[in-house]
Amino acid sequence: MPRLTPLQWLIALIFLAFYGFAVFAVTRDYYVRHPIRPPAPAAPAAPHGLSGSQRSFGIGSALDAVNPIPSSIEESDPRLLEKKADSLFAERRYLEAIPLYRRVLELAPGDMGASNDLGLALHYGGDTTGALEVLRRASAAAPTFQRIWLTLGFVTLQSGDSAGAREILVRARDLGPDDPIGQEASRLLGTIGEP
């Protein structure tokens, strides 16, 4: 086996350092250009997070085989439509879920869960203004429905209105400070400087 001279060792070390830096720079550049976004279900106001008994998460395809879900929004059963919309939402197919949530609300205008989910789907689908409008209308219609206030606060915060989000999140927290939604509102308040 050949022996390396000190100069060859130095060149090898310089090459390894340069190579490591190059890999780091390329990787960093990629993640700066393509930031990692948290998965939708992990968002603080995810529609399914606290109502697991009401909605299944991530098993929509298996349920479709057992309980056929309509492929058309002409369906008149809001439960089937909402199940399909929830399945699409879980798959991050927000733009496809939006018309289904809208149809659910046509059939059952007082369904605050569907209003909450529609607001989130609009936000994640890129229509934050539309999401805020839906969520504000729903919060006015059901002022004690804590989840709507949490979602409205989250979307308001994401839109860049920290002062408005603070006020809304305080309301969400105060509706039930010890339950999971109230705790999530407290956590979000902590991120914007509210204890």
29 located within any domain: no
DSSP alpha helix (H) spans, the chain: 6-33, 60-66, 78-90, 94-107, 112-124, 128-141, 146-158, 162-174, 180-191
In the chain, how many domains are there? 1
pLDDT band of 193, cuts 50, 70, 90 = confident
pLDDT tens per residue across span 117-128: 999 999 999 999
43 located within any domain: yes
The parent domain of residue 82 ranges over 39-191
Q: Give the CATH number, domain containing residue 120.
A: 1.25.40.10
170 located within any domain: yes
11 located within any domain: no
Q: How far apart are CA 145 and CA 186, in angstroms?
A: 17
Q: How far apart are CA 76 and CA 132, in angstroms?
A: 27
pLDDT band of 25, cuts 50, 70, 90 = confident
20 located within any domain: no
18 located within any domain: no
Q: What percent of the chain has pLDDT over 90?
A: 51
31 located within any domain: no
pLDDT tens per residue across span 132-191: 999 999 999 999 999 999 999 999 999 999 999 999 999 999 999 899 998 999 998 988
What pLDDT is attached to residue 73?
A: 57
175 located within any domain: yes
